[in-house]
Amino acid sequence: MKIEDKRVLVTGVAGFIGSNLTDKLLNLGATVIGIDNLFNGRLENLAEALNNKNFQFHKGDIRDFNFLLDIFKDIDIIFHEAAFTSVPQSVKMPESCNDVNINGTLNLLNAARKRDVEKIIFASSSAVYGDTPTLPKHENMPRIPISPYAVTKLTCESYMEVFHQVYGLNTTSLRYFNVFGPRQQDSPYSGVIAIWLGRIIKNKSLIIFGDGNNSRDFTYIKDVIQVNILAAENKSSGAILNIGAGSPITLLDLAKLMLKLTNKEELGIIFDPPRPGDIIHSYADISKVKEILKFQPKYTQEQGLRDYLEWYCKKYEVNLKIK
Ligand code: UD2
């Protein structure tokens, strides 16, 4: 199935991942219907899409069933990126997180079932593994959530599987590992790379929580988009797949790399106490997605960072000398 003739729906369309995915889908010739409640998403992210005749935007909430039923007409594929996305916020507001992520996703699945949507691709998270010592994380190992956010993502994965088995919907859950890149916001609840870039621009030292030995499998947004398209065009029904670069980097090495690439080594690093609830190491075994979808990440962390920095300098007219 080729994406170009399809009518696709993107939830969370004005967010970091949803908007990047939408630009790619439109470039490939798909018709995109985007929905977002604009709680976190920003219309600015849709500047390009809103000028495309194959794009429609509807402001609304995935918890509103009638809104979904109205919009879901002749939709072939749904990319479900809308979510309550912050782990620390979910600890403060577990009910809100549950409401948006679980009730919203169940609404979406029910509306999709009623409207005969072919396929749903769901944005899950590596958070479902919790802090188990096994590395790399593979799909069949125990999932031991340690935050309300992780509980909601795990529950949604189960709903995806059940709607596949019981109602025959084609569902795929993609477990993203630390995605970074253009349009990720520099906010206290955002990813570390966006936060550190914000600090570099303001000529501030980078803050590491802990001793810097924590590691993450940072995954560049363009690889995440690539794998979403692969999941749409190929068969992966009922599957749950890790999506990562498949190579971990420590926070200390990442900080040094960002300072080196931006030529700002003099800013240095400050070590603060570890952040409560942080997972120590996270790293994806991506053999399953390589086999099922023939996915091959195209960006190492350094290549992704360079691409992101170039985008950032151009977009915000910042003069960083990238090494
Ligand atoms: C990521 C996802 C989250 C969830 C989780 C799964 C992001 C933004 N969040 O959370 O949605 O899927 O993975 O486990 O992708 N750090 C610093 N200094 C800072 C900010 C962060 O040292 O100024 C550290 C932080 O303590 C952690 C690492 O950087 O060790 C990554 O933090 P993060 O907030 O980017 O992402 P994470 O892994 O907590």
Asked if 145 and 151 count as a contact pair (C-beta separation under 8 A), the reply is: yes
* pLDDT exceeds cutoff 80 at 5: yes
Q: Is residue 195 part of a domain?
A: yes
Tell me: do 144 and 196 sit in the same domain. no
- First-to-last alpha carbon distance for the chain, in angstroms, is 41
For a substitution probing ligand 1, which of 87, 186, 190, 301 has the most ligand atoms within 8 Å of its CB?
87
Shared domain check, 151 and 51? yes
Mean pLDDT of 78-89: 94
309 occurs within a structural domain: yes
Claim to verify: residue 17 and residue 160 sit in the same structural domain: yes
What is residue 5's DSSP assignment?
G
- In a domain, residue 321? The reply is no
Supply 121's token pair: 């691709």
- Which DSSP string do the residues of 171-231 spell out, in sequence order? EEEEEE-SEE-TT---STTS-HHHHHHHHHHTT-PEEEESSS--EE--EEHHHHHHHHHHH
Q: Which domain holds residue 200?
A: 185-216+247-281+300-316
> Cα–Cα distance between 255 and 215 in angstroms, integer?
12
Q: What value does the mean pLDDT take over residues 179-198?
A: 93
Same domain as 194, residue 305: yes
In the three-class reduction of DSSP (H, G, I as helix; E, B as strand; rest coil), residue 105 is classed as helix
Q: What share of the chain is helix, strand, coil (3-state, %, to 5)?
A: 45, 20, 40
CATH number for position 261: 3.90.25.10
Same domain, 167 and 54: yes
The CATH code of the domain that includes 11 is 3.40.50.720
Q: What is the pLDDT of residues 256-310, one digit of tens each?
A: 999 999 999 999 999 999 987 788 899 999 999 999 999 999 999 999 999 999 9
> Which atom belonging to ligand 1 lies closest to the Cα atom of 279?
14
How confident is the model at residue 88, as a pLDDT?
86
Nearest-angstrom CA–CA distance, 316 and 165: 47
Q: Is residue 290 part of a domain?
A: no
In a domain, 212, yes or no: yes
Q: Which residue puts its alpha carbon closest to atom 17 of ligand 1?
A: 208
How does pLDDT run across 45-73, given as a tens digit for each residue? 999 999 999 999 999 999 999 999 999 99
Strands annotated E in 50-146: 55-59, 77-80, 119-125
Domain shared by 133 and 196, yes or no: no
Is 229 contained in some domain? yes
- Decide if pLDDT at 317 tops 90: no
Q: What is the pLDDT of residue 319?
A: 83
pLDDT above 90 covers a percentage of the chain that reads 90
Name the closest-CA residue to atom 39, ligand 1: 278
In this structure, the answer to whether residues 202 and 236 fall within a common structural domain is: no
Confidence of residue 208 (pLDDT cuts 50, 70, 90): very high
Assess whether 144 and 252 both reside in one domain.
no
pLDDT grade for 28, boundaries at 50, 70 and 90? very high
> Which tokens belong to 217?
């499998």
pLDDT digits (tens, 9 = 90+) for 220-271: 999 999 999 999 999 998 999 999 999 999 999 999 999 999 999 999 999 9
Domain co-membership, 62 together with 100: yes
Is residue 295 in some structural domain?
no
| Residues classed as catalytic | 149
Query: What pLDDT score was predicted for residue 278?
Result: 81
Same domain, 96 and 169: yes
CB of 252 sitting under 6 A from ligand 1: no
Residues 144 and 273 in one domain: no
Is 308 within the bounds of a domain?
Answer: yes
Q: Which residue bears the tokens 């005749």?
A: 53
How many residues comprise the chain? 323
How many domains does the structure of the chain reveal? Answer: 2
Same domain, residue pair 33 and 167: yes
